[in-house]
Structure 1
Amino acid sequence: MPDQPHFLQSEKQNLHVERAEEDARVEPLQLGQRVREIRLSQNLTLEEASKLTGLARSTLSKIENEQISPTFSAVTKLVNGLGIDIPQLFTQPKRDRAGGGRRDITRFGEGRPHPTPTYEHELLSTALTRKKMIPYRTAVRARSFDEYKEWVRHDGEEFLYVLEGQVMLYTEFYEPILLGVGDSAYYDCEMGHALVSVGEEDAIVLWVTA
């Protein structure tokens, strides 16, 4: 979510800001939206989140779209599977004030590991919450497009940069393309996409998802 805008120090504008903050505090919690935000912040597809939580993909989708309310059992599975606590799930994220000076350093090899059947993700800058983009370093395990049961797709846009090896980038509306060290791609994440290593060694890529 965008930060709050700068404002002039006049009584009228201060009153307006105070009222806006009061409105934000009483805004009802949209649990489905919170589940979706947390899932995307961990760069998980619905399929991956389903495997981690033990909830059916269709059930997760209905929860995120506010079509059903999760039972206590489902909430427990969400909390355990996503590695969060219950207050984090039920508390509305605080809005950051403008003009911050946030910074986070991730030393080589010290990112948070997040393995999947086709990728070995290393999530970067994990100490910062509510980032506007999600950076991660990935070893691409897959050697064939057939290893994907379905297209990978999620909200936002994505930047891909090849650090080591070669990869074949598959996208739903374009022909597959071979990318080598120093090559990059930028694409819409709602378009189906998948990455495959070309060669004996796993290719290493840098991904940034916004």
Structure 2
Amino acid sequence: MNPHTGTKTGTKPRDEPPTLDRATFGNRLRAARKRFGWTLAQLAERSGVSITTISRAERGQLALGYENFTALGRALDMDMNAMFAGAGVKPAQLDGPVVTRAGKGVVYKGLSIAYEFLGTTAAGKQMSPIVGTVHARKIHGPEDFVRHGGEEFAYVLSGEIEVHFDNGEVVRMAKGDSLYFDSRLGHAYISVSRQLARIVGMTIGESGHMQSAREGEGRAMPAPVAHKSERSVASALPVKASRGQSKSARKAAATRGA
């Protein structure tokens, strides 16, 4: 037994998955912003992420949650796999099968989940698969709820979790359970088992059909980005409000035509 490594003589220590530390992620985020020639304020305006959050993330002082780094990815018009690919690895277009060997995804420890990103060498893919270790144990406030366009799937590999939604609904899940939902609804994962739960998760961005359906409700322009404190209340409003506006607009047009 090697007293320094804890392994038997003649054996190799178990490979650790590659980890994207905060400093490396911050450097990549700053480089992506500077390629556009944008200031922190300009990126904040385009993404809805605060200047302070972006600045601290670029300096490696803050781990971003899923909502924030997907918002930044959309604003920077980039595949976020470029952020999570290994050093020296440039993502390529999906022109063949992409294999991620066991334990070889890229790990990024977010606010409530340690994400192991899979298939990071495939640029432009429609799905974002991860293996996640849920390390959050409780909901601290509205700021813990994540929301983003598209749909989300989660399958529990081990342990137990609760998925809290900002409409008050709570879903408890054990090993083998799965969940599929509209990820525009604010959601937060916590581990409720003795050991930290592990999940397979997948998100997919909003499709053209989904966008067309919502735009067909009569929204003339995108709704402004709400502050986190406002989102739990406002997240359910845009579709209903737009429907009401479209009906009013049609009535007004009919009256003018008459």
How high is the TM-score relative to the length of structure 2?
A: 0.45
CA distance in 1 between counterparts of 2:194 and 2:141 reads: 16
The answer to whether residue 126 in structure 2 is matched with residue 132 in structure 1 is yes
For residues 158 and 176 of structure 1, what CA distance do their matches in structure 2 show? Answer: 16
CA distance in 1, matches of 2:138, 2:96: 40
The answer to whether the 8 A contact 2:84-2:117 is kept is: no
Q: 2:75 aligns with which of 60, 64, 85?
A: 64
Residue pairs, 1:185-204, within 5 angstroms? 185-204=179-198
Of 157, 178, 197, the residue aligned with 2:151 is 157
For 1:102, the aligned partner's letter is G
Distance 1:112 1:183, change over 3 A: same
Give the match for residue 171 of structure 2: 177
Deviation at 1:142, TM superposition (A): 0.4
Match of 1:122 in 2: 116
Q: Give 1:27-66 correspondences, 5 Å limit.
A: 46=49, 50=54, 51-53=56-58, 64=75
Opposite residue 183 of structure 2, the aligned amino acid is C
Q: Percent identity?
A: 29
Bigger Cα Rg: 2
Runs of 4+ in 1 over 6 A off after TM superposition: none
Distance in 1 separating the partners of 2:141 and 2:161: 15
Contact 1:151–1:194 (Cα < 8 Å) also in 2: yes
Whether the 8 Å contact between 2:144 and 2:188 is mirrored in structure 1 is no
Gaps of 5+ in 2: 1-35, 37-47, 63-67, 77-82, 86-91, 205-258
- What is the aligned-residue RMSD (CA, Å)? 3.6
Q: Is the 8 A contact 2:134 2:191 kept in 1?
A: yes
- Structure 1: where are the runs of 5+ without partners? 1-30, 32-44, 66-81, 85-93
Deviation string for 1:39-69 (max 9, x for gaps)? Answer: xxxxxx947x7342259x8xx87x939xxxx
C-alpha distance after superposition, 1:175-208 (max 9, x if no partner): 2111011111111111100000012211000001
Figure out how many residues of one structure are paired with residues of the other and give that number: 137
Partners in 1 of 2:135 and 2:141 — Cα distance?
10
- Measured after TM superposition, the shift of residue 165 of structure 1 is 0.5
Post-superposition offset of 1:147: 7.2
| Match of residue 102 from structure 1 | 96
Q: 2:136 matched to 1:142? A: yes
TM (normalized to structure 1)? 0.55
